[in-house]
Amino acid sequence: MPSTLPKTLLYLLGAIFILNVTQAYFTELIFDEAYYWHYARNITFGYFDHPPMVAWFIALSSLIFEGHLGVRFVSCLLSVGTLLVLWKTIDHPQKNKYATHFVVLAFSMTLLNAYGFLTLPDTPLLFFCALFLLVYKRFVEKPGIGLAIALGMVMAALMYSKYHAVLIIVFVLLSNLKLLKNTYAWLAVLVALLAYTPHFLWLYEQDFISIKYHLSERKNGPYDFNKYTLGFLVNLVALFGFTFPWIYRSLFRTRSKDVFTKALLFLTYGVLLFFFISSFNRRVQTQWIIVVSIPLVILVFRDMMADETSRKWIYRMGILNIVILLYLRLGLVFEPLFPIYYESHGNKKWVQQLKDKVGDTPVVFENSYRLAPMYAYYSGNTSFSLNNINYRQNQYSLDDSERNVQLRKVYYVSPFLKNAELAFENAKGKPYFGHYINQFESFRKLRCIVDGDAFSLDTEKERLVKIFNPYDEDIDLQKLKFAVGYLDDYKQLQEVIPIYVSATDENISVLKSNDTTNFTFRLPPPKTKTPDYFRLSISEKDLRFGLNGKTIKLD
C-alpha cells in the first residue's frame, strides 16, 4: 500500500481548503450557526439541543480569528481532515492513481461539500466518524491497549458531537459481536464512558432536560406519506445528487468479505433502515442521515477502482454535481445568483435596520432562538429569546441570558404584536413588530412540578403542584398568573385556559428564593375537543404564558 500522499491529492485538498476558508469568510451566518455561536459564549459540558463539541470548536476558532472565520475556521480544517482520514482508511495498492476520482466522489456529495465551511454539529460528527472507522479498522487488525484507548476516546468524541453518534457505535458493534468477548473492546468502552462522564453529570444536573426533549417533548404531527416517508426517500437522492444511481449501485454490489467491510455495510444499511422506520412517525431531516456518506465514500471508491463503469459515471456526474454546488455556493454570497431565498441572505441588513431603531437597548425576541443570537452576533448588543407555551424550550430556557435583560428597558419584538410599530422586515419580507417595555421582568425558569405521568380529565378533583423558584430573589405572587395548556396527541397546543391556584399555606404571598411552594389546582373544562395532554404554565406581568411544566398524559 502506498505510504505517502500523492501530490495530486495534496493539491486538490489544498484548493478545497482555500475555497472553504474564502467561502466561510464571505458567507453570512445561517441561523443555526448563530445559535451555536450563542452556545460558545458560555463554554460548558452540555447544551439544550446538542452535546458541546460544536460550541468548543467555535470557541477554538474564535481564539484564532474574528468575524465569520471566528465561527467557521476549525470546520474548514475538519472538512479537509475528514477526507485525509478517509484516504488513510482505504487500503488499495492502486489508489494513488485515482486520487482525483476520490476527491470528486467525496466533494460531490452535497452535505459533505456544504459542511466543509459551515459549523454545525454534523461537522465534527463526520470527522470523528471517519476517525472512528480508521481506528476501528486498525483495532480489529491488531487489538491492543493503545488502540483500545484511542478507540474509546474517539467514541467519546463522537458522542460529544451529536447524540445520533450512538447509531454509529451500535451498528458497528452489531457487525462484530465477537467484540463482546474482547477484553480490549471493553477497555475501549470504559475509556469512552470515563471521557463522557462530564456530559453525563451535566445531564443529571439539568434533570436530563435534553434527553426528555428529544424523546418525549418534541411536537409532531399526523403521518403524512409525502412529508415523511417520501421526503426520506427524496433525501436519499439529495445526499448524492446526480451520482446517486451509481452510489447505490456500488453499495448494493458490495459483499462483506472481511470484518471491516461488514462494519461499513452494517453502518450504512443500519442508519438508512433506522431512519426509514422513523419516517413513519416523523419527518426525517436530510442531515440526520448524512453520516452514511462516510462509509459510502470508502465502499464506493473501492468499487470505482475495480469497475470502469462506476469510475467513469461517478466521475462525470460528480463533476456535474460540483459545478452546480459551486454555483449555489457562490449564490450564498451573491443573493441574485441563488434560485430561492436562503437564510444566509439579508441578516446583516435587518439587524442593522433594527439596531438603527433601538440603539444599544437590549432586544427581547418572542419565540425565536434563531433571531435572538443572529441579532446579538451582528449588532454586538444584548438579546434574549422569551419562549412561551406556543413555542418550545431551547438554550435560552437553560442558560443565564434572561438575567441580562431583567428589570431593564428592552425593545420587545414579535411577529404577532397588535397595535405596535414595524420593527423590521427580514430578507423574505416578513414583518416583525415591536414596542418598548420600560422595566422588563420574566421568570421563565420557574418550574411547575406535578407528581405522576398520567392523569384522568377530572375537572372537579383538586391536585397538588409544587412550584420551584430557582432565582436568587423572592417573587411576589401578585406578579404571576397561572394557566393550563391542553395539547393534542401530537403535543400540538390546542388552547390555554387561565386557572386559579391556591397556596396550601394561606399566609404565603411570595415564592421563596431557591425554595419550593405547594399549591393546589383543578383542571379546567376544555373548550375544544378532548385533549390528550396538559402542561402547567405561568405568565409574568401579562406576558404570554411560559413553558413551566412538563407535558402530562391525560387518560
**pLDDT tens across 460-507, in order?**
999 999 999 999 999 999 999 999 999 999 999 999 999 999 999 888
Closest of 142, 175, 171 to residue 155, by C-alpha: 171
Q: Are residues 116 and 35 in the same domain?
A: yes
Q: Which amino acid is at 172?
A: V
- In a domain, residue 442? The reply is no
Cell of 404: 441580562
Distance of alpha carbon 299 from alpha carbon 347, whole angstroms: 40
> What does the pLDDT read at residue 3?
58
Distance of alpha carbon 510 from alpha carbon 531, whole angstroms: 32
Q: Are residues 319 and 214 in the same domain?
A: yes
Domain boundary pick from 404, 437, 470: 437
Domain boundary pick from 295, 317, 336: 336
- In a domain, residue 1? The reply is no
What is the DSSP code string of 436-484?
Answer: EETT----TT-EEE-S-SEE---TT--EEEEEEE-SSS-EEGGGEEEEE
Closest of 121, 32, 29 to residue 75, by C-alpha: 121
Q: Are residues 305 and 377 in the same domain?
A: no
Cell of 302: 473501492
Rounded mean pLDDT, 453-465: 90
Q: What is the pLDDT of residues 402-433, one digit of tens each?
A: 999 999 999 999 988 878 899 999 888 889 99
Domain that holds residue 144: 7-336
DSSP for residue 525: P
Q: Are residues 423 and 451 in the same domain?
A: no
- Provide the number of structural domains found in the chain: 3
Q: What is the pLDDT of residues 211-234, one digit of tens each?
A: 888 887 888 888 989 999 999 999
**Residue 131, CB-side half-sphere exposure with 13 Å CA sphere:** 22
Distance of alpha carbon 190 from alpha carbon 422, whole angstroms: 57
Neighbour count for residue 392 (Cβ, 10 Å): 18
Closest of 17, 28, 44 to residue 351, by C-alpha: 28
Instruction: For the chain, give the percent of residues with pLDDT over 70.
Output: 99
Q: Are residues 387 and 292 in the same domain?
A: no
Cell of 216: 418525549
The 493-499 sheet, strands edge to edge: 454-455, 552-554, 533-540, 480-487, 493-499
Q: Give the residue with greater pLDDT, 3 vs 450.
A: 450
Cα 61 from chain centre: 19
Rounded mean pLDDT, 200-207: 95
Q: Are residues 285 and 406 in the same domain?
A: no
- In a domain, residue 191? The reply is yes
- In a domain, residue 2? The reply is no
Cell of 57: 470548536
Distance of alpha carbon 64 from alpha carbon 60, whole angstroms: 7
Burial 326-358 (b: 16+ CB within 10 A, else e): eebbebbbeeeebeeebbbbbbeebbeebbeeb
Please list, in sequence order, all residues whose beta carbon lies within 8 angstroms of the beta carbon of residue 294, skipping any fewer than 6 positions away.
Answer: 82, 86, 126, 129, 130, 133
Q: Which amino acid is at 138?
A: R
The sign of the dihedral angle between the CA atoms of 103, 108, 109, 110 is positive
CA distances for 395 relative to 253, 370, 409, 459, angstroms: 45, 11, 23, 34
Q: Are residues 409 and 483 in the same domain?
A: no
Q: Are residues 267 and 351 in the same domain?
A: no
- In a domain, residue 71? The reply is yes
| 475-476 and 480-487 strand pairing | unpaired
Q: Give the residue with greater pLDDT, 469 vs 1.
A: 469
> What does the pLDDT read at residue 408?
96
Give start and end residues of each alpha helix (H) in 27-68.
31-40, 53-64
Q: Are residues 91 and 228 in the same domain?
A: yes
pLDDT interval class at 453 (50, 70, 90): confident
Contact status, residue 377 vs residue 37, Cβ threshold 8 Å: yes
Q: What is the pLDDT of residues 504-533, one digit of tens each?
A: 988 899 999 999 999 999 999 998 788 999
Distance of alpha carbon 466 from alpha carbon 460, whole angstroms: 19
Q: Are residues 214 and 262 in the same domain?
A: yes
> Mean of the per-residue pLDDT values for the chain?
94
Q: Encode 531-555 in three state secondary structure.
A: CCEEEEEEEECCCCCCCCECCEEEC
pLDDT interval class at 321 (50, 70, 90): very high
Closest of 290, 234, 246, 268 to residue 104, by C-alpha: 246
Instruction: For the chain, give the percent of residues with pLDDT over 90.
Output: 88
Closest of 240, 264, 251, 307 to residue 90, by C-alpha: 264
Contact status, residue 494 vs residue 487, Cβ threshold 8 Å: yes
User: Would the pTM count as exceeding 0.85?
Assistant: yes
pLDDT at residue 1 tops 60: no
Distance of alpha carbon 163 from alpha carbon 199, whole angstroms: 11
Domain boundary pick from 313, 336, 359: 336
Q: Are residues 417 and 459 in the same domain?
A: no
DSSP for residue 227: T
- In a domain, residue 58? The reply is yes
Q: Are residues 425 and 462 in the same domain?
A: no
Rounded mean pLDDT, 287-297: 96
- In a domain, residue 403? The reply is yes
Distance of alpha carbon 437 from alpha carbon 459, whole angstroms: 37
Contact status, residue 126 vs residue 82, Cβ threshold 8 Å: yes
What CATH number does the domain containing 510 carry?
2.60.40
